Amino acid sequence: MPEWLLKDENYIPQSDKDAFITKSIMTLLGVLSRIRAQSVYKEKKFKVSAALKVAFTFVLILLISISKSIAFTIIINVYLLAVLSMMNGEEIIKILKVSIVTSAFTFVILLPAAFWGNLFSSIFITSKVFATVTAVNMLSHSTRWNSITSALKRFYVPDIFILVMDITIKYIFMLGEFSLNMFYALKLRSVGKNKSKYTSLSGIAGTMFIKSNEMAEDMYSAMECRGFTGEYQVINKKYKMTFPDFVYIIMNIALILIFIYMERV
Amino acid sequence: MIDLTDVTYSYSGNIALKNINLHINKGEAVSLLGANGSGKSTFLKLINGIISPDSGIYKFNNEEITHSKLQDTKFAKLFHQKVGFVFQNSDTQLFCADVYDEIAFGPKQMGMSENEVDKRVNDCLTLLNIVDFKHRQPYHLSGGEKRKVAIACVLALNPEVLVLDEPMNGLDPRTQRWLVEFLIRLNKAGKTLISSTHDLELVQEISQRAVLFGEDHSIAADLPTDKLLTEIDLLKKVNLVDEYYHRITYKQS
Amino acid sequence: MHIPDNYLSPSTCAVMGAVMVPIWAVSVRKVKKEISKVKVPLLGVGASFSFLMMMFNVPVPGGTTAHAVGGTLIAVLLGPFAACISVTVALLIQALLFGDGGILSFGANCFNMAFVLPFLGYFIYKFIKDRVNSEKGEYLALIIGSYIGINFAAFCAAVEFGIQPLLFKNAAGQPLYSPYPLSVSIPAMTLPHLLVAGVVEAVFTVAIFSFIKKVSPGTIYEGAKKKTKAIYGLIVALICLTPIGLLAAGTAWGEWGADEISSVETGGNALGFVPAGMKNGFNFSALMSDYGIKGLPDAAGYILSAIAGVVILLIVFKIIGSLKKNKAGNISG
């Protein structure tokens, strides 16, 4: 045993600007918890088919984007908030957080334009951004991701592409957890001033890449063992329209009619 | 040295630690036992300040460790120097391009002179018997070698407490044997050791005291290791062992 | 550099999406040829790497942090065509599932970050590397490639923003989408990238590349052994410029001249939007005044406001309710 190991270290640390570690940890935790939340989704009583949700969310976003009428944008915002109010409190917080942050960011970006006299555009675009972000996040929070990806098949997205997306989500989780632990390790060992932060960070990213290569090789072998030949079929259950689907379609057609009415002028 | 009073922690609604009361003295060697998912890993994260309790008090050297205190970088850095953590998966712990840099990472930050850093790294290399790997890339070492490098890079900080998450996992019997001897030496040298493990055969060699986590995420027993290992009904109750367990103990005694 | 929805007009988005279709088609065919059909799903792993790279916070001198995109790096590691697909999938997952980045502007985002950035970065890298046969030359090539790649991608985004006010206005002459003309959007987008983000991207790219090269050189993509012909680079540059030229033709470049810049410089009365806008009563106080909303019959306006009020209250109560339930929610866990 070397001598220094036998006595307690008498050490006074210097401070260091290493916020990038904590921030990366927070971002990764956010991503991971978002994916983890997928596994505990309860079956909702009022369940609309994912394909319909994806299709009408897209239509809605398109209408918002085309609209020249601020009244229509406000109607859509109220409609979205009304639907949002039926979700549970935690989901509401998560969705609104993103919508508010994004639209506040947009408003700040557009603030100079407002001072130049484009107050209208600034408010108009901000409210459109709020609606769009809310709509997308409501879709992603209220629907299982694998049903969103397999719903894409109904829009003629190739099966192999859907497989790639599903694999990506899974590996974002696995590699994300791996790199999260590396950031923890970096944090625990950053006991003073780190003079080469880029070296540490690129060590993490580089290790993640090498690890991802290794995982891909393993996955390839495993798939081959299970007889994968490059063909993949997403199986969608036969579609039967349910009562909630019907209500959902009516609501969205009503919105489209309102759009046509409002944009007529 | 380590004091937990009524500590509770939960991950987004799921309880992971429930009413933990534990006191660990300087120089002790403690093992944590428990089935998968009983909260051992969460407990180790908490001891290391990666997470902080939802309720209850965690004191280290008579100072309370809280989330807001750990936001203060100077405080956090000093705390992390005193408590070292060896991760279960050594891959996640090693991010430098060669073994020397890996071990020098900590000492370099502590403002030591070039010579001191060099001495420390070489001492660690010798201590862990990895001098030959000095200039190899950690990523391509074998599992056992990686574990040694991971331990070396934590030891280089000269922590007062060494926390190890499943240190025997994935090692061949010879390396396990070596690690047991090494941990005993470290403990004799005055280091406090806290390790989680599933290995009931080695647990009595590396620790005098064993803490058993129940499936309800609270502490089911806190006894001298030899004593705990004879409480077979208790071990069965927390689902750590099944009815075949007695054969192993029988064989050992 | 993620463009959210509603900054670009739907028609611009459609054009950008249409431009991407043949690029995706070519990339898929190239990748299938290079790595065999059976290995195509492995691109998912590349996509997840690309996704996570964008999650890393990179330290910037001064103590704050920035994000790197890593487009050139991924192109150098996986090859440009695989990089195009990987970044596309990463962007799609961000937009569709994480609600980050636009749905309609997906095509434009892919154009900037999955096409311009990796291809331009890669070809500049390859072009220089093939001519300078040394390790230093390789790193230099990587620095120049990633720096130019990200800056040109930012420039493309700026052009996409900048042509909006010229192309899309309402009857009152108010811009419907991004209100900033090229004279504002280009410096606003490119300066931060030239000075900070570009440097971060270049340093980060080189650091990761050299780590991987040191630790596991076998994992890096081996492009065609023969030298890329200079003409290749030129063609790529032209491909990059064509759609932008198409979009800009006749409208943007012609008008982006002295008069516009001067109108910005005059400050308050810039672009002549003020009088028109004010005359038509488009100011905030009018939008919701008297609980009526412009463009709606009075009664409908009342009802809409009432619904909004009730719904907002409901949401507030639910938030308070769930906050109480798990107070002290620990963020670090």
Q: Which residues of C touch B44 (CB under 8 A)?
A: none
d(CA C154, CA C116): 10
Using alpha carbons, select from B105, B199, B200, B213 the residue that is nearest to residue B150: B105
In C257-291, which positions are buried (b, 16+ CB within 10 angstroms) versus exposed (e)?
A: eeebeebeeeeeebbebeebbeebebeeeebeeee
Q: Which amino acid is located at A182 in the chain?
A: M
Instruction: Look at residue C285 in the predicted model and tell me its pLDDT.
Output: 40
Is A187 part of any domain? Answer: yes
C residues 297..326 contacting B (CB < 8 A): 326
B residues 184..223 contacting C (CB < 8 A): none
Residue ranges making up the domain that contains A116: 47-143+238-265
Q: A24 is written with which tokens?
A: 């990366």
Contact C328/B at CB under 8 A: yes
> Which of C6, C97, C323 comes nearest A140 by C-beta?
C97
3 state DSSP class of A14: coil
Cα B208 to the center of its chain, rounded Å: 15
Instruction: Look at residue C330 in the predicted model and tell me its pLDDT.
Output: 42
**Across residues C225-245, what is the average pLDDT?**
53
Q: How far is CA B154 from CA A245, B94, B121, B151, in A?
A: 58, 11, 11, 5
Question: HEC string of chain C?
Answer: CCCCCCCCCHHHHHHHHHHHHHHHHHHHHHHHHHHCHHHHHHHHHHHHHHHHHCCCEEECCCCCEEECCCHHHHHHHHCHHHHHHHHHHHHHHHHHCCCCCCCCCHHHHHHHHHHHHHHHHHHHHHHHHHHCCCHHHHHHHHHHHHHHHHHHHHHHHHHHHHCHHHHCECCCCCECCCCCCHHHHHHHHHHHHHHHHHHHHHHHHHHHHHHHHHHCHHHCCCCCCCCCCHHHHHHHHHHHHHHHHHHHCCCHHHHCCHHHHHHHHCHHHHHHHHHHHHHCCCCHHHHCHHHCCCCCCHHHHHHHHHHHHHHHHHHHHHHHHHHHHCCCCCCCC
pLDDT classification of A161: cutoffs 50, 70, 90: confident
Instruction: Look at residue C229 in the predicted model and tell me its pLDDT.
Output: 54
In the predicted structure, residue B177 carries a pLDDT above the cut 50 = yes
Q: Give the max Cα distance, chain C.
A: 76
d(CA C8, CA A121): 13
Looking up tokens 């000095």 gives B134
How far apart are the CA of B226 and the nearest CA of chain A, in angstroms? 28
**Across residues B182-198, what is the average pLDDT?**
92
Q: Which residues of B touch C211 (CB under 8 A)?
A: 97
Single pTM value for the model: 0.84
Q: Which residues of B touch A1 (CB under 8 A)?
A: 127, 185, 189
Q: How far is CA A76 from CA A50, B4, B90, in A?
A: 20, 52, 52
Give CA angle at C87 (C83, C89), nearest 5°: 120
Q: How far is CA C147 from CA A162, A189, C34, in A?
A: 33, 32, 27
pLDDT classification of C261: cutoffs 50, 70, 90: very low
Helices C80-96, C121-131: axis angle to 10 degrees equals 160
How many structural domains compose chain A? 2
Looking up tokens 């065999």 gives C36
Q: B29 is written with which tokens?
A: 């060697």
**Across residues C10-31, what is the average pLDDT?**
87
Using alpha carbons, select from B39, B27, B16 the residue that is nearest to residue B212: B39
Which strands make up the sheet holding B83-86, listed edge to edge? B83-86, B161-165, B192-196, B29-34, B209-213, B219-224
How many structural domains compose chain B? 1
- Other beta carbons within 10 angstroms of residue B151's beta carbon come to 25
pLDDT digits (tens, 9 = 90+) for A229-244: 777 777 777 777 888 8
| Residue predicted with more confidence, B57 or C327 | B57
Q: Which residues of B touch A181 (CB under 8 A)?
A: 87, 89, 92-93
How far apart are the CA of A106 and the nearest CA of chain B, in angstroms? 30
Is A169 part of any domain? Answer: yes
Clarify whether residues A246 and A125 are in a common domain. yes
Clarify whether residues A120 and A242 are in a common domain. yes
In the predicted structure, residue A223 carries a pLDDT above the cut 70 = yes
Residue ranges making up the domain that contains B233: 2-252
d(CA C77, CA C46): 10
Helices B114-127, B143-155: axis angle to 10 degrees equals 140
Nearest CA in chain B to C212: B97
In the predicted structure, residue C276 carries a pLDDT above the cut 50 = no
Cross-chain Cβ contact B54/C330 below 8 Å: yes
Helix or strand (DSSP H, E) at A19: helix A19-36
DSSP state of A85: T
d(CA C1, CA C202): 16
Domain ranges of chain C: 10-265, 285-325
Instruction: Look at residue A171 in the predicted model and tell me its pLDDT.
Output: 93
Using alpha carbons, select from B76, B45, B86, B78 the residue that is nearest to residue B179: B86
Instruction: Look at residue A243 in the predicted model and tell me its pLDDT.
Output: 87
Instruction: Look at residue A45 in the predicted model and tell me its pLDDT.
Output: 60
**Across residues B46-54, what is the average pLDDT?**
93
d(CA B80, CA B83): 5
Instruction: Look at residue B121 in the predicted model and tell me its pLDDT.
Output: 94
Cross-chain Cβ contact B157/A8 below 8 Å: no
Q: What is the CATH number of the domain that holds B71?
A: 3.40.50.300
Is A15 part of any domain? Answer: no
How far apart are the CA of A192 and the nearest CA of chain B, in angstroms? 5
pLDDT digits (tens, 9 = 90+) for C171-200: 777 788 888 888 888 888 888 888 888 998
Q: C210 is written with which tokens?
A: 């050299």
Q: Which residues of B touch C216 (CB under 8 A)?
A: 137, 139-140
CATH class as words, domain C10-265: mainly alpha
Nearest CA in chain B to C213: B97
How far apart are the CA of A64 and the nearest CA of chain C, in angstroms? 8
pLDDT classification of C244: cutoffs 50, 70, 90: low
Q: Which amino acid is located at B171 in the chain?
A: L
Instruction: Look at residue C284 in the predicted model and tell me its pLDDT.
Output: 38
Instruction: Look at residue A195 in the predicted model and tell me its pLDDT.
Output: 82
Q: How far is CA C249 from CA A185, B141, C186, in A?
A: 53, 58, 17
> Which of C211, C214, C330 comes nearest B51 by C-beta?
C330
Using alpha carbons, select from B55, B202, B86 the residue that is nearest to residue B152: B86
In sequence order, which residues have a C-beta less than 8 Å from that of residue C62 and are 6 or more positions away?
Answer: none
Q: What is the mean pLDDT of chain B?
A: 89
Clarify whether residues A60 and A134 are in a common domain. yes
> Which of C215, C326, C328 comes nearest B97 by C-beta?
C215
* Chain B contact partners (≥3 CB pairs within 8 A): A, C
Clarify whether residues A226 and A169 are in a common domain. yes
**Across residues A176-188, what is the average pLDDT?**
94
**Across residues B58-65, what is the average pLDDT?**
92
d(CA C208, CA B252): 51
Cross-chain Cβ contact C330/B137 below 8 Å: no
Percent of chain C whose pLDDT exceeds 70: 69
Cβ atoms of residues A20 and A197 within 8 Å: yes
In the predicted structure, residue C278 carries a pLDDT above the cut 50 = no
Q: Which residues of B touch C206 (CB under 8 A)?
A: none
Q: How far is CA B19 from CA B1, B39, B44, B223, C328, in A?
A: 19, 12, 15, 18, 16
pLDDT classification of A87: cutoffs 50, 70, 90: confident
Is A92 part of any domain? Answer: yes
Clarify whether residues A90 and A120 are in a common domain. yes
pLDDT digits (tens, 9 = 90+) for C306-322: 677 677 767 776 777 67
Cα B224 to the center of its chain, rounded Å: 18
d(CA B47, CA B24): 11
d(CA A265, CA A18): 56
Q: A29 is written with which tokens?
A: 């935790």
